[in-house]
Structure 1
Amino acid sequence: GYFVWLVYFHPYESTDDAFIDARSFSVAAKISGYVADVPVSDNQHVDAGAVIVKIDPRDYQIALDQSNGQIGVAKAAISSAEAQIA
């Protein structure tokens, strides 16, 4: 009997009620993008405001460069209109 218990039952955890007490929180992102880095580990305590995910900035850098290019085009159009008026 001891051998059967040692081989078949002893290696496994058992519980009387099969419930786990845990606090879980959902995380919602305000922006979308590809995840570049996750500087936290599993079950690590994090404080409010701590960085838990870093988003890859390439998409936003491209949008910024496009906007700056459009500003340059608009300034050139203004200069051209002022030159025509003069």
Structure 2
Amino acid sequence: MMQLAQQTQVSGVGKARQVSAYVFVSCAQPKRIVHALSRLPGVVKADALLGASEAVLVVERHNFEALQTLLTEVQATPGVKKVSVKLAA
């Protein structure tokens, strides 16, 4: 996650930009996981992917620390096996 911190950018003078990311979640029951994760604050969209044991989330948080907190909650959700994060540019 430290790599994510290095990728975040600051826009303007002293104003942190909102952090958006795509989160790919490997899990055994994508529909159940999507239902649980869509309730977390910061999850804008959550979809189960057909033909794969994955779900994809679109998340937005006001800073990197809040994003890290959200990702920790996602990873701790029962049934989640692995989380892969891609920051939006």
TM, length-normalised to structure 1: 0.23
Q: Which has the higher strand share?
A: 2
